[in-house]
Structure 1
């Protein structure tokens, strides 16, 4: 990568196109962080710094917000974000067995992303689909009444192997 390409990448990762759509007011901070997250699938350090400069606020304040909200991430996320419910109904129905199978197949734990940036795993306290427990989501698609055997089949669909 030559110097011009590197500079273009750094400029692109600062998210100025997203940031500058908003007025320079603190009350838009969370919305801006969410839009940056939507664009990059995480919040790059360069974007935090650019936003801090734009809003004239310390980077530490933005970092605090980005680490407080579970929906925001400072590390790259996969193309497919798998969210496993571990609420009471799902836990009793075997969500930990589902999670163990995901970990075994993908080689990652909750909060991690595969090296190819294809999959990330998260856990939540409740997805709100208790009647079809155990449940997981991949991006916006729900999968219920899961068994360990189903996990490989579902992942194969996303890998394009089916």
Structure 2
């Protein structure tokens, strides 16, 4: 199935891979160095993006809030000290989980209702939720670039237009 949202998700993965490539070029101590920013260090923001992507695949699959919390809590504990290579492998597994989920869907634009214990219910579509995942990742990849600059390194260019040129 082809859908613009799935292409947008492919962009998300492309951008994350560019971040991984750049982060693997910096020493481990820099990856964990404290920075005066939104996150305490690069590893924390990378983990945050991963955990949020994990939350949203559970929400899209209509898993219970408790099950999602349990899975992300366990992943957070397990990956707290993971190397960039280890978290990159986890992202690859999560990417396949997303693709398997979406390839099994007939209509990404049909209305669904998702509930949250604090925020209540929202009527949306799977494609809108997928756009949220990509948008969230884009925001935090910007954090990573800013933090890398603070640490004396160049961040990767991950704007959507670069993806379009790269896939030509």
Give the alignment's TM-score, normalised by structure 1: 0.24
- Counting helix residues as a fraction of each chain, which structure ranks higher? 2
Asked which structure has the greater RCO (Cα within 8 Å, sep 6+), the reply is 2
Which of the pair has more CA radius of gyration? Answer: 1
